[in-house]
Structure 1
Amino acid sequence: MTIEVNPADPLTRLGWDEDWARRWATFQASSHAHGITRFGEQDPPHLLPARVVRVHRGACDVQTPLGPQRVQVPPGGLVPEPATGDWVALRLDAPDGAAPVAVLPRRTVLARASVTGRSAEHVLAANVDTVVVAIGAESRTTNGRVERFLALAWNSGAHPVVALTKSDLAPAHDLERIVERVRADAVGVEVIAVRHDDPAGVGELRDRLRGTVVLLGSSGAGKSTLANLLLGEERFAVGAVRSVDGKGRHTTVTRELVPVPGGGEPLVLLDTPGLRSLGVADLGGALDRTFADVEDIAVDCRFSDCSHTSEPGCAVLAAIDAGVFDRRRLENLRKLEREQAWFARRTDARLAADRRREWKRIATANRDRYR
C-alpha cells in the first residue's frame, strides 16, 4: 500500500514519511474501532499527528500539520511518556485544550541507564535514524567512553557515525594518529574529522546522515558547534572547555528537533546536553557490534565458554599478544558485561519487589472486604 506524503506539509520537514503515514492510518483505525473504551465517549474525537520537538516539565512543544503548539501532558497520562522525537496523537478538542492522547510505537529509542542508579532507563531521544558520536580530537576522553557511546548508539537501532570534532586544535602531525586510534575502537563505524574552518569535512559528514540525526557526546565535545555548522547558522550556544580537565559546561540544556535546510531528503537535527554520566542499560546484541573484532576472534577459542583470562588455546589472548587489538578493548568489554549483569539483577529485584507490593495490596483489599 502506497500512501502519498505531501512535501509541503510541515510534518514532512520533521521526518514524516510513508512509513509513519501507514502507522498513523493503523492507529486511527484502531482508535475508531475502540473509541468508547479509549476515550470514554460514543464518538472518538478528532486526532492529528504531531511530532514532539521539545519536552518541558509537564508540557511539550509539538509540530502539527496546522503549525507549532505547546500542549500540556498530565502526569502519568501517557505510557510511555513523550520524549523528543516521538510522534503523538493530538486531540484538539480536549477539555483543557489540545492534548496528546497516545504515543505512536517508536521505531528506535536512544536510552541510557538512569543517573539515579535505579534499574530503569532514561530516554534521550525517540525515532532516531543516525547517531553522531562527537569526540573532540584534543580532548582527554578515554577510549572506553567512546565505546560506551557506540554501544548506546547500536542499541538504539540507529546507525552510528563518529565525528572527530575540533580537529584544527590537534597538532597536524598527531591528527592522523588520533583518527586511526579512534577507528581502531570504532569497529565498523565511519570516523570523519571535521573542523569549523573547513566545509569539506562537514560536507562529508552530512553526506553520511539520514533522517533524524542526534548528536551524542561529552560536555565540551563540540556538539553545538557541529550542529551550527550543519545548520549553517548560529542556532545553538557554544562555550569554552576548562583547561584543567578538558570538560565543558552544559551550553545545551534541552533536546530540540531542528530541520536542516537544503534540498533532497529531509534531515532533522537533535542536539543533546553533554553526558557526564553514561550508565548503560540492557544492551542486548549491541555489545557484539561494538566489540565485533573481539567477538569475531573469540569463535576460534578452544573452549566455547572461554573467559579469555588464562585458558589454553584462547584466540583472543593470542590476538592481543600479536598486536591485533589492544588489551584495553577486552577490559572495556568485560566492564560493560559486568554492568549488564548488575543491571539485569537490579531489574529482576525491582520486578520482584513490584510483585510483592501488588500481592500485599490484593491481600489487604481482601481482608478489608471480608472484615
Structure 2
Amino acid sequence: MSSPSLSSLGWDDSWAEAFAPYDGMVPGRVARVDRGRCDVLTRHGEVQAAWRGDPPCAGDWVALRGGRVGAILPRRTSFVRGGVARQSRGGLSGDSQSQVLAANVDVAFIVEPAVPDASQGRIERLLALAWQSGATPYVVITKADLANDLPYLIEAVKAAAPGVDVHAVSAMTGDGLDAVRALATGTSVLLGPSGAGKSTLVNALAGQQVMRTQEIRASDGRGRHTTTHRELVAVPGGLIIDTPGVRRVGLYDVDEGLAQAFSDVEDLAAECRFSDCAHETEPGCAVLLAVESGDLPERRLTGWRRLRREAEWIASRTDARLRSERLRERKLIHRQARRDRSH
C-alpha cells in the first residue's frame, strides 16, 4: 500500500477537525506497532516513527513530526483487553493491566474455526469485548468445509451469539466469502484463537496474499499460528486489522458489552421478582425458571456468571492498582517538596 490517499485509509471531515490543532504536522494511520516503533501510512507513503508516553496501536490516527508520533487522535472505538484472570484453588488470580488491541474499528469479526471444535465460551468472551468497543460484531466460522455437521454447528454458535449474524466460510472452496466481503467495509478487525485461519481469511478477502500463512495439520485440522503482531492491511472496499491469536482475553470495563453478549439472560433478569436478583436461589427468579424449563441453556447462565465474576475481579484489581499508583505519586511529590524546602 504505497502512497495511499487519506480517504482510502478512513480519513473524513471529522478526523480533519480532530487534527486541526496539529497544524504543521503530518496525519497518518498506524498500520503496525513492533519493538518500540510503528509503521504509519501517510499520503506520502509508509514511514516509521517512534513515540513517547502511551503507545499507539493498529488503527490509530496520529500526528507526525520528524519521525515521531506527536499525538494520538481521540479514538472513536477501541478494543481494550484487560489483564488475564485465572481460576485457582484460592479463587481468581492474575494481573489487571489493560492493553488496547485495535482502534477506530467499524466491524469486528469474531473468527472461530469449525474444527477441531468451536468454543461457545470463547465466542461469548470476544463478543463482550466487541460490543463494548462500539464496533458492530459478526461471527465467522472458518474451515466450514471440514465441519462434520455444519448446520448443527451454526445453530450452536447462534445460541452463544444472540442478535449477531453468523457466517460460515471456507477459504478453500470460496463458500461464504462474498457475504463476509460485503460486511468488510470501513475498518474491520479479526479476533480469534491461533490457527483459526484469520490470515487465510484476510488473503481470501483481499484476493491476494497479503498475510503469511501456514498449512493446517492433517491430523487434527488445526492451523499453526503465524501472525505475531496486529497489522492493518487493505482489502477491496476497506481495511482489516489482523491480530495474533489470543489464548485468553481478560475483560476490562465491559458492563455494557456483557449485557449485549448475554442479552437473553439480561432480558429474563428484567422479569425477576427482585431488582437485585443474583439468579442463585431467589424466589421468582425468571432466569432460573427459564433454565428449568429449557428455554435458556444452563451453560449460558454459567458463562454469564463466570464472565461477570471475572470482570468484577479485574475491575477491583484495577482500582486497587490505580489507588496504589496515586499514593506513590503523592509520596514522590511530598518528598520532592521537602527536598526543595531543605534547600
TM-score (structure 2 length as normaliser):
0.91
Tell me if structure 2 keeps the 8 A contact 1:164–1:191. Answer: yes
- Cα shift readout 1:214-238 (whole Å, capped 9, x = no counterpart): 1110011111111111011122222
| Equivalent position of 1:90 in the other structure | 64
How do 1:143-182 residues align onto structure 2 when only pairs under 5 Å count?
Answer: 143-171=120-148, 174-182=149-157
Residue 256 of structure 1, aligned match among 231, 248, 256:
231
CA deviation string 1:91-121 (max 9, x = no partner): 1xx3xxx222000000111121135943221
**What is the CA-CA distance between 1:197 and the residue it aligns to?**
3.7
The C-alpha deviation readout for 1:144-182, integer Å capped at 9, x for no partner, is 1110010111111111011011010012xx110100010
Question: What's 1:189 paired with?
Answer: 164
- Paired residue for 2:183, among 174, 191, 208? 208
Distance (Å, rounded) in 2 between the aligned partners of 1:208 and 1:180: 21
1:60 to 29, 38, 60: 38
**CA contact under 8 A between 1:10 and 1:67: conserved in structure 2?**
no
Give the partner amino acid of 1:282: D
Q: Which runs of 5+ in 1 are unaligned?
A: 1-7, 33-45
Shift of 1:249: 3.2
Kept in 2, the 8 Å contact 1:302–1:312? The answer is: yes
Give 1:18's aligned residue.
13
CA RMSD of aligned residues (A): 2.0
Amino acid of the structure 2 residue aligned with 1:253: T
- SS of the equivalent of 2:49 reads strand
Cα distance between partner residues in 2 of 1:345 and 1:114: 12
Match of 1:99 among 62, 68, 90: 68
SS at match of 1:250: coil
Q: Could you list the runs of 5+ residues in structure 2 that have no partner in the other structure? A: 86-93
Letter in 1 for 2:6: L
- Provide the residue aligned with 1:267 in structure 2: 238
Distance, in Å, in 2 between the alignment partners of 1:21 and 1:370 is 48
AA aligned opposite 1:59:
R
Which structure is larger by alpha-carbon Rg, 1 or 2? 1
CA separation of 1:244 and 1:324: change in aligned 2, threshold 3 A: farther
Aligned counterpart in structure 2 of residue 348 of structure 1, from 310, 319, 323? 319
- What SS is found at the alignment partner of 1:199? coil
- How much has 1:244 moved relative to structure 2? 7.8
The equivalent residue for 2:198 is: 223
Change (3 A) 1:275 1:347: same
Output the amino acid matched with 2:72. V
CA distance in 1, matches of 2:205, 2:231: 15
Superposition deviation, residue 141 in structure 1: 4.0
Aligned residues: 332
Label 1:113 to 1:248 Cα distance change in 2 as closer, same or farther (>3 A): farther
Change (3 A) 1:276 1:317: same
The 3-state SS of whatever aligns with 2:184 is coil
Whole-angstrom distance in 1 between the partners of 2:221 and 2:328:
46
- How many Å apart are 1:242 and its aligned residue? 5.8
| 2:137 is the alignment partner of 1:142 | no
| C-alpha deviation, 1:243, in angstroms | 7.3
CA contact (8 A) 1:140 1:246 kept: no
Letter of the 2:19 counterpart: W
Moved more, 301-310 or 196-205: 196-205
Q: Name the counterpart of 2:305.
A: 334
CA contact (8 A) 2:4 2:45 kept: no
Distance, in Å, in 2 between the alignment partners of 1:245 and 1:200 is 22
Find the aligned partners of 1:339 and 1:240 in 2 and give their Cα distance.
35
Q: Higher mean Cα deviation, 15-24 or 278-287?
A: 15-24
1:53-72 CA distance string (max 9 Å, x none): 11121211111111111122
Tell me if the contact between 1:119 and 1:343 (Cα under 8 Å) persists in the aligned partners.
yes
Q: Which amino acid aligns with 1:103?
A: I
Is the Cα–Cα contact under 8 Å of residues 220 and 247 in structure 1 kept in the other structure? yes
Match of 2:97 in 1: 120
Is the CA contact (8 Å cut-off) linking 2:79 and 2:102 kept in structure 1? yes
In structure 1, give the amino acid aligned to 2:193: S
* Greater relative CO (CA pairs within 8 A, separation 6+): 2
Amino acid at match of 2:43: P
The amino acid across from 2:10 in the alignment is: G
Following TM superposition, by how much is the alpha carbon of 1:317 offset from its aligned partner in structure 2, in angstroms?
A: 1.0
Deviation at 1:245, TM superposition (A): 7.6
**Offset, 1:198:** 3.7
Q: Secondary structure at the match of 1:131?
A: strand
Q: 1:230 to 1:157 in 2, by over 3 A?
A: same
Deviations 1:176-230 (A, max 9, x none): 0100010111111100011124434100111123310111100111111111110
